[in-house]
Amino acid sequence: MAKKTLSETDEARLKKKVKEQLAASGRADRDPRIRALHKRLKRAQRKRRRLAARKGRAMGKKAGAADTGGAPSTA
C-alpha cells in the first residue's frame, strides 16, 4: 500500500506552485497550467472542508454546541 500524505501539505504545496506560476507568467486566465493547478488546489480544499463538516455532524448536537460556546443554533 502506498504511503498517504496529509492534505494540508498538498494544499500548501499547490498554493506555492500557483503563486510561482502566477509570478512567472502574470496571465492566469490564459495559462492552462495555472488553471489546472488552481483546480487541483480548490479540489483539495473542498475535500478538507467536506471532511471537517462530516466529522462535525457525526459528533452530534452536544459536541457541536460545545464548539460554538453553547449558543443555540437558529437554523
Give 18-52 pLDDT, tens digit per residue: 889 888 887 767 788 889 999 999 999 999 999 99
What is the per-residue pLDDT for 8? 57
Is residue 68 one of the residues assigned to a domain? no
pLDDT for 48-68, tens place per residue?
999 999 999 999 876 656 555
Is residue 63 one of the residues assigned to a domain? no
What is the per-residue pLDDT for 22? 86
Is residue 16 one of the residues assigned to a domain? yes
What is the per-residue pLDDT for 63? 61
Number of domains observed in the structure of the chain: 1
Calpha distance 38→25 (Å, rounded): 14
Three-state DSSP class for 16?
helix
SS3 content of the chain, % helix, strand, coil (to 5): 75, 0, 25
Three-state DSSP class for 14?
helix
Domain that holds residue 31: 7-58
Q: Above 70 in pLDDT, residue 17?
A: yes
CB 15 within 8 A of CB 41: yes
Grid cell at residue 18? 500557483
